[in-house]
Amino acid sequence: NAGVTQTPKFQVLKTGQSMTLQCAQDMNHNSMYWYRQDPGMGLRLIYYSASEGTTDKGEVPNGYNVSRLNKREFSLRLESAAPSQTSVYFCASSKSGLAGVAPNNEQFFGPGTRLTVL
Amino acid sequence: RKEVEQDPGPFNVPEGATVAFNCTYSNSASQSFFWYRQDCRKEPKLLMSVYSSGNEDGRFTAQLNRASQYISLLIRDSKLSDSATYLCVGGGSGGSYIPTFGRGTSLIVHP
């Protein structure tokens, strides 16, 4: 099992360019998440998908869009990149997006994408 | 004010020491809590879930105090390899599990 995979690992963009970050999981998990991590800020939730066919905004959704392509894949798109979006992006998955059963909410993370916007 | 708060540290301890971290949360309806470990420039990895009854995994013990709204992590007999950032997470109310991470506590174990 590869677990959670992310591509690309590194990316440099110019302001205004667009790109899509890809994420896939092979654990048959229902829920998937996108986070960004900045120094001193911790992990902040951008968007999540509790189940295939649904997506919802997290804490910091502005400037991003997502697509839950199928149960395995959850992509994050930057339509017009800005320097403020320079960050490390992590994708994660869990068995369930329903609250109350802790083991089902355990998250598994991909290795991250390091994005720099000039 | 962030929903989940942690002391960023760093906690600088000698090998063999016992160290404890606390994490407070503001949403009293939160149901699921976890501790993750994150090494420099790596992804977070699940360390352990946190239950009201407390749970132990080797040298690590996690506790949840719902009355005071905090979770704790105790590490006994610290090893050099325990040096990392420890993230607490809380979430889950009203049906959906929406996780909120603390900013992390840095632990440095020295010889």
pLDDT digits (tens, 9 = 90+) for A87-109: 999 999 999 877 667 677 899 99
Residue B91: predicted pLDDT: 82
Q: Do B35 and B51 form a contact (C-beta atoms < 8 A)?
A: no
Closest chain B residue by Cα to residue A50: B96
Average pLDDT over residues B73-89: 97
Helix, strand or coil, per DSSP, at residue B96: strand
Which of chain A's residues have a Cβ under 8 Å away from the Cβ of B104? 42
Mean per-residue pLDDT, A66-78? 96
| CA B90/CA B64 separation, integer angstroms | 11
More confidently predicted of B27 and A15: A15
Residue A33 has pLDDT above 70, yes or no: yes
* A chain contacts of residue B89, beta-carbon cutoff 8 Å: 107
CB B107 within 8 A of CB B84: yes
Whether residue B14 lies within 8 A of chain A, CB to CB, comes out as no
Token pair, residue A109, equals 């993370």
Res B53: pLDDT: 85
Q: Does B90 touch chain A (CB under 8 A)?
A: no
The residue-averaged pLDDT of B1-29 equals 91
Interface test with A, best of B26, B93, B97 (most A CBs within 10 A): B97
